[in-house]
Amino acid sequence: MVFSSLTFLFLYLPVVLLIYYLCPRKYRNAVLLIFSLVFYGWGEPLYITIMLFSTALDYVCGYFVGKYRQSNVRRARIALAVSMIGNLGMLGFFKYSGFLVENLAMIPGLSGLTAPSITLPIGISFYTFQSMSYTIDVYRGDAPVQKNILNFGAYVTLFPQLVAGPIVRYKDIAAQMNERRETLDQFASGVQLFCVGMAKKVLLANQFGILWEQFKAVPPSQLSVVGAWVGIVAYALQIYFDFSGYSDMAIGLGRMFGFEFPINFNYPYIAKSITDFWRRWHITLSSWFREYVYIPLGGNRKGLPRTYLNLFVVWMLTGFWHGASWNFIIWGIYFAVLLMVEKAFLLRGLQKAPAWVGHLYTLLMVLISWVFFSIDSLPQAGAYLAVMFGGGASLIDAQALHGLLYWAVLFAVGGIAATPLGKQVYQKFLLRFPRLEGWLAPALCVLVLLVCTACFVDSSYNPFLYFRF
Amino acid sequence: MKQQNGKTKNMAILLSFLLFIGGLGIANVLLPEKDFSATENRVLASFPKFSLSALLHDKWTQKFEAYVPDQFPLRDFWVGMKASFQTLLGQRENHNVYLGKDDFLLMKYETMDQKLQAGSFSAIETFAQAQNIPVYFALIPDSSYVYGDLLPPVSLCGDEGELFAAAQKAFSAAHYIDLSAPFRTAGQTQKDLYYRTDHHWTTQGAYLGYQMLSAAMGNTADDLEAFDRQVLSARFYGTLRARSGSWWVSPDQIVGYAPKTSATVEIYENNELVQTTDGFYAADRLTTADQYSVFLDGNHSKVVIRSGNSGKKLLLFKDSFAHSLIPFLSTQYSEIHMLDLRYYKTDFEKYIQDYGFDDILILYSANNFSTDRNLPFLNLKSGG
């Protein structure tokens, strides 16, 4: 099920909220577990079994890790290894076996191999990472063992962040799983954030998506230079509002049930460097990789060559996590190289330069990266880049003009919404007109709900971009 | 005091949210199901019967997801709100309909697939070669072509002119009649050749078509004064308004021009005569959403019009644009067989021999023609 649908908003959510709040506190995690399984099974009921298997595996492994981590480290390590092999094995089987076979088949002698057709269970990249963090945190002594399987099941399956994050590390939420107090203030702030997220997804991301599709459908040889830029900027806004909108909705929904999830985006497009960008984009993923891969590899504590190697490994994996194809690996390595160059000298240079240089450089590098991210054929991506840098059929054509003209309002709104400017204007406005304070927020929430409902009715089917991860 | 304000605000947010999702949710469940949407002209999805096997093997959840929006309360209201939102953003296109100048709605034309175009053309040419009576082929330009200046600037609407230019060169046995140039010329001054809210030509547009076709087919066209003008509907909301959700545009008028000598209209379904009426208009259709069906009662697989005028017989392959043209054509033919290739398929060579036609006309609107895949059925052979 997706958040941006009538079924979720008007049937699923009211029922879950009603039953959740009618139930005594001690049954609430069980309510969440059951409804999360319904949410997950909605797309493919059979995949609930994978979810239950993953939950049971990590519950048992976590139990043994906790039991032996002081008395018998070897056994604790075996339990941890079982958990990691189990999770990564599932991820590998469902997500990467097709890719592996396809590439093996290119080796002479192995050309008879055919890729198995496996449907990717939604959210598997997210929940395997999330449940692995439990056994690792227990092993490290960062979190206690969760004895109650319902509480643990609720953690793994929690529907708000189940399919597209934020990736919540167990230690950050362990205490909330056992005990939390839902409050009016938290609920109301959850509603507001949910509405902000829905506006980003439905009113902005989807509109930019329509524009990007127009450019993506044209062979690069027929694109104009301006058209290629308009297209990739539209994609940049689409993916940001889509993904950060989803995260906002998830965090907002979490608050309605008394959870506080970590933030996932912090205005990434105002970053001053790529290093800065990755502290602001998909924060929970990069901190997962830092915490569980980069630092265990030695991070930056083992000399410069090793630091670079670690960066390379982590970013190649980050790229590969985003999708089982070469363009994502290239995309990851591209960022690894940029981060190394920044570490070597560029960051110091950027600090001395005027701020706009850093902003411009970052935006440019990020836009180039989105070309590789969004176009999965490498020659096509290369051709698209060539058009951006002057190799177009013309400087500007009707398609580019059309995009600029009819998306002008959206580009303006999107540009403001992607920076802290919108929030600042809103707060200044409230300072100026304090009497509006009481009803402006509720009115805006209702407005967003109305227009989004109109969009859902108008087009009923609209899957999230991040569903393929 | 400040804290009190915060509490009130949060309570207001909480209540408005819960009332909104809960209220509409309950309404969605409690309101009775509707079978048919008149504005969309389609059957709505109904509640899918639940069973374990439906859930596991029959995509029950997907059917449910189709059912919810179809039965959502105030469907038309929401669709209109989306259209208004889109307009507010400065966009001038919704569901492939352009919101043109002067509230004129125009259907987007997508350039015809080259393979499909070649296939349809050659089907017509092959068909014409096999006949020993003249086969005429005409494409009716759409409003986006004739009134291109009403389109929003840089609209990316495809150019039907490419299709007309290709048709000019494609035929030798079939006689291609070009309507695009005369319509463009007339369109400069005559702004009523097409409905503003519907994709069809108006009866005035059909009259111009009748003049052009008559000249090309060796018939004499009567003056417009020779027909009795009557307003069939003063409030006609057409397909383009429904499709685009722009409820704010003002209605069109449907005008009929009836010849002095009337005719009987025989309607066939599955080759069986189901209805015989006097005259060209089905007045009961004016109370439905699809008012254009007032002409010859809308789409039927086969309709025969007997007028008793002169002695010639016409075989007409057509789409719904022809319906408002028929009253004019009926003055030139004693019998017109109007066939819809989408629903009527037979061995046409035999059909032609059986009835002894004098002329054959293949008449489509350019936009319909560009997506129609049925023209190869012209050459259908029985037993083959």
Per-residue three-class SS string for B349-370 = HHHHHHHCCCEEEEEEEHHHHH
Based on the domain organization, do A119 and A223 belong to the same domain?
no
Q: Distance between CA B73 and CA B76 in Å, rounded? A: 9
The single-letter code of the amino acid at A435 is R
Contacts of B207 (CB under 8 A, 6+ apart): B224, B257, B328
- The residue range of the domain holding A406 is 186-458
Using CA coordinates, name the residue in chain A closest to B23. Answer: A10
Q: Count Cβ atoms within 10 A of the Cβ of residue A41 and give its class: 0-12 exposed, 13-18 middle, 19 or more buried.
A: middle
Nearest to B296 by CA among B271, B313, B319: B319
Contacts by residues B88-96 (CB-CB < 8 Å, ≥ 24 positions apart): B89/A207, B89/A409, B89/A410, B90/A405, B90/A406, B90/A408, B90/A409, B91/A406, B91/A407, B92/A406, B92/B152, B92/B155, B93/A406, B93/B152, B93/B155, B94/B244, B94/B245, B94/B246, B95/B243, B95/B244, B95/B245, B96/B243
Instruction: Say whether the peptide bond before residue A166 is cis (omega within 30 degrees of 0).
Output: yes
Q: Distance between CA A333 and CA A287 in Å, rounded? A: 18
Based on the domain organization, do A55 and A159 belong to the same domain?
yes
Asked if B193 and B202 count as a contact pair (C-beta separation under 8 A), the reply is yes
Asked if B194 and B102 count as a contact pair (C-beta separation under 8 A), the reply is no
Per-residue tens of pLDDT for chain B, all 384 residues: 455 667 888 999 999 999 999 999 999 888 888 887 777 777 788 888 888 888 887 788 888 888 888 888 888 899 899 999 999 999 999 888 999 998 999 999 999 999 999 999 999 999 999 999 999 999 999 999 999 999 999 999 999 999 999 999 999 999 999 999 999 999 999 999 999 999 999 999 999 999 999 999 999 999 999 999 999 999 999 989 988 889 999 999 999 999 988 899 999 988 899 999 999 999 999 998 889 999 999 889 999 999 877 779 999 999 999 999 999 999 999 999 999 998 999 999 999 999 999 999 999 999 999 999 999 999 988 754
The predicted-structure confidence for A191-231, as pLDDT tens digits, reads as follows: 999 999 999 999 999 999 999 999 999 999 899 999 999 99
**Active-site residue list of A:** 322
Q: What is the pLDDT of residue A127?
A: 87
Q: Distance between CA A289 and CA A304 in Å, rounded? A: 19
Q: Distance between CA A340 and CA A243 in Å, rounded? A: 26
Based on the domain organization, do A115 and A81 belong to the same domain?
yes
Using CA coordinates, name the residue in chain A closest to B4. Answer: A438
Contacts of A442 in chain B (CB under 8 A): 9, 12-13, 16
Based on the domain organization, do A57 and A107 belong to the same domain?
yes
Asked if B328 and B257 count as a contact pair (C-beta separation under 8 A), the reply is yes
> How many other CB atoms are found less than 10 A from the CB of residue B157?
22
Contacts of B99 in chain A (CB under 8 A): none
Based on the domain organization, do A191 and A248 belong to the same domain?
yes
Q: Is residue A1 part of a domain?
A: no
The residues that bridge with B229 in the sheet, in sequence order, are B257
> Per the CB < 8 Å rule, is A6 touching B66?
no
Q: A401 CA to chain B: closest CA distance, Å?
A: 7
Using CA coordinates, name the residue in chain B closest to A403. Answer: B154
Give me the residue spans of the domains in chain B. 2-79, 102-379
Buried b (16+ CB within 10 A) or exposed e, A326-360: bbbbbbbbbbbebbbebbeebbeebeeeeeeebbe
Residue in B21, B29, B156 closest to A13 by CB: B21
Based on the domain organization, do A171 and A281 belong to the same domain?
no
ipTM: 0.87
Query: Number of folded domains in chain A?
Result: 2
- Our CA angle for A226, A227, A232, nearest 5°, is 100
Q: Distance between CA A406 and CA A68 in Å, rounded? A: 63
> Per the CB < 8 Å rule, is B28 touching A11?
yes
Asked if A407 and A208 count as a contact pair (C-beta separation under 8 A), the reply is yes
Q: Is residue A63 part of a domain?
A: yes
Contacts of A408 in chain B (CB under 8 A): 90
> Per the CB < 8 Å rule, is B25 touching A406?
no
Based on the domain organization, do A299 and A211 belong to the same domain?
yes
Nearest to B370 by CA among B111, B165, B169: B111
Q: Is residue A469 part of a domain?
A: no
> Per the CB < 8 Å rule, is A7 touching B65?
yes
Contacts of B12 in chain A (CB under 8 A): 438-439, 441-442
Contacts by residues A286-289 (CB-CB < 8 Å, ≥ 24 positions apart): A286/A318, A287/A169, A288/A129, A288/A133, A288/A167, A288/A169, A289/A314, A289/A317, A289/A318
> Per the CB < 8 Å rule, is B13 touching A192?
yes
Contacts of A457 in chain B (CB under 8 A): 69, 72, 75, 78-79, 82
Contacts of B66 in chain A (CB under 8 A): 460
Question: Looking at chain B from residue 103 to 162, which residues have their Cβ under 8 Å from any Cβ of chain A?
Answer: 153-156
> How many other CB atoms are found less than 10 A from the CB of residue B18?
16
Where chain A has pLDDT below 70, the residues are 115, 460-469
Q: B226 CA to chain A: closest CA distance, Å?
A: 47
Strand B359-365 to B42-43 pairing = unpaired
Q: Distance between CA B330 and CA A171 in Å, rounded? A: 83
Q: Is residue A465 part of a domain?
A: no
Helix then strand then coil, % of chain B, to nearest 5: 45, 20, 35
Residue B54 in tokens? 């439906």
Handedness of CA B55, B57, B61, B66 (dihedral sign): negative
Contacts of A219 (CB under 8 A, 6+ apart): none
**Which of A180, A210, A240 is the endpoint of a domain?**
A180
For chain A, say whether B50 makes contact (Cβ under 8 Å).
Answer: no
Which residue bears the tokens 């409690």? Answer: B30
Based on the domain organization, do A152 and A264 belong to the same domain?
no
Q: Is residue A466 part of a domain?
A: no
Based on the domain organization, do A232 and A372 belong to the same domain?
yes
Q: A200 CA to chain B: closest CA distance, Å?
A: 15
Using CA coordinates, name the residue in chain B closest to A48. Answer: B56
